[in-house]
Amino acid sequence: MTSAQSRVLEVQDVEYLRHGDKPLLARVFKPQGRGPFPAIVQVHGGAWCEMDRQRDSALDISVALSGVVVVAIDFRMPPAVSYPAPLADINYAVRWVKMRATELGTRADLVGIMGTSSGGHQAMLTALRPRDPRYAAIALPGSWTSLNADVRCAVLCYPVLNPVERFQYAKALANDPSDFAQWYSKRQVPRNLQYWQTEEAMSEGSPVLIMERGEPVQKPPVLWVQSTGDKAHPRSSNEQFIALYRKDGGVAEMEMFEEKEADFLTFDPSSPAARGATTRITEFIHRHVF
In the predicted structure, residue 115 carries a pLDDT above the cut 90: yes
Q: Which residues contact 197 (CB under 8 A, 6 or more apart)?
A: 82, 83
Give pLDDT, residue 61.
97
Chain segment 117-128, per-residue pLDDT in tens: 999 999 999 999
What pLDDT is stored for residue 267 in this prediction?
A: 86
Pair 273, 198: CB distance under 8 Å = no
4 has a pLDDT exceeding 70: no
Q: Does 264 map to a domain?
A: yes
Distance CA 135, CA 75 (A): 13
Find the radius of gyration of the CA atoms of the chain: 18
Q: How far is CA 211 from CA 112, 153, 205, in A?
A: 20, 17, 11
The CATH number for 97's domain is 3.40.50.1820
CA distances from 252 to 24, 68, 106, 221, 288 (A): 31, 21, 25, 6, 12
Cα torsion 248, 285, 38, 96: sign: positive
Q: Is residue 241 part of a domain?
A: yes
> Residue 210: inside a domain, yes or no?
no
Q: Is residue 8 part of a domain?
A: yes
Q: Is the dihedral of CA 36, 38, 44, 48 positive or negative?
A: positive
| Integer Cα distance of 107 and 102 in angstroms | 6
> Is residue 226 domain-resident?
yes
Residue 45 DSSP one-character state: -
Distance, CA of 162 to CA of 271 (rounded, Å):
28
- pLDDT score recorded for residue 124: 98
Judged by DSSP in three states, 92 sits in helix
Q: How many helices (H) and strands (E) does the chain have?
A: 12, 8
Report if residue 40 sits inside a domain. yes
- Asked if residue 129 is part of any domain, the answer here is yes
**Nearest-5° Cα angle at 56, 53 to 59:** 135
Residue 5: the pLDDT is 67
Q: What's CA 241's distance to the chain center, in Å?
A: 16
* pLDDT bracket for residue 34 (50, 70, 90): confident
Range of the domain at 233: 3-162+219-289
pLDDT, tens digit, for every residue of 91-106?
999 999 999 999 999 9
- The DSSP call for residue 36 is P
- pTM (predicted TM-score): 0.97
> Does residue 189 form part of some domain?
no
List of E strands, the chain: 9-19, 22-31, 39-43, 69-73, 111-116, 154-157, 222-227, 252-257
How many domains in the chain? 1
The overall average pLDDT reported for the chain is 96
Quick check: 146 pLDDT over 60?
A: yes
pLDDT of residue 7: 65
